[in-house]
Amino acid sequence: MKPPSQLPPRPDFETIEAAARDAGATAARGDVFTLIGQLSFSWSNNESLLVYFIMLLLGCDREAALIVFGTLNTSRARVDLVQRLARVKLTDRALSGEIKRLMTRFDTGTRLRNDLLHAMFTVDAAGHITHTHAMRLEERAKGLRFGAAKSMDSERLEAIRGEIRAMNELNRDLWTFLPRLEASLRACPRGRSREDGGA
């Protein structure tokens, strides 16, 4: 006897595609896609500014900073580099703390962006996106969980809108902060060393 398949049933693509052509379903899906696009746009603009943090903290030109940025192929590695350089290069602890807070805000947006861009989307028979399934492992006290599902409801959409606003505000704060970082590094170009009591 043939063992039962472990695969989920094949979606009824014809029915889903026909339903998706309905004006209401098309508008609803368009709203989701627009929000994901706006979040990705805002997040990417913020990540690109890490090049200037690297440039200032390493005391190199933009081209060298771009090489470092591109060689570190995850945003987590880029953020870690910025935070570690700040701890070594900055004598102003308040400024170093501000960098940490800015990077924490960026991390919040990164988590949501990754949650949406690295997910499988569930579509109902009417063509509406109903859930996302995370395509990553989550370690829990009772073991591992894979593919946690989250509803794509009005509350989730509002959370995405809120994070877009937060990413846009962060972009302005990063641009405001960079000249202050540059001024501080020029005032103390060598930074602090471990021998001088630096962390």
- pLDDT per position in the chain (199 positions), as tens? 778 888 878 878 887 777 777 766 677 788 999 999 999 999 999 999 999 999 999 999 999 999 999 999 999 999 999 999 999 999 899 999 999 999 999 999 999 999 999 998 988 877 788 999 887 777 777 777 777 889 999 999 999 999 999 999 999 999 999 999 999 999 886 544 444 444 3
pLDDT at 189: 67
Which candidate, 27, 30, 45, places its Cα nearest to that of 113? 45
Give the number of other CB atoms < 10 A from CB of residue 66: 15
pLDDT at 192: 46
DSSP letter, residue 63: H
Decide if 100 contacts 86 (C-beta within 8 A).
Answer: yes
**Structural Rg of the chain based on CA atoms:** 22
pTM equals 0.82
Helix (H) or strand (E) holding 134: strand 129-134
How many whole angstroms separate alpha carbon 20 and alpha carbon 26?
6
Helix axes 23-48, 13-20, angle to 10 degrees: 90
Phi and psi, residue 138, nearest 5°: -120, 125
How many whole angstroms separate alpha carbon 78 and alpha carbon 43?
14
How many whole angstroms separate alpha carbon 143 and alpha carbon 169?
38
Token pair of 122 as six digits? 């569930």
pLDDT at 25: 66
β partners of residue 120: 133
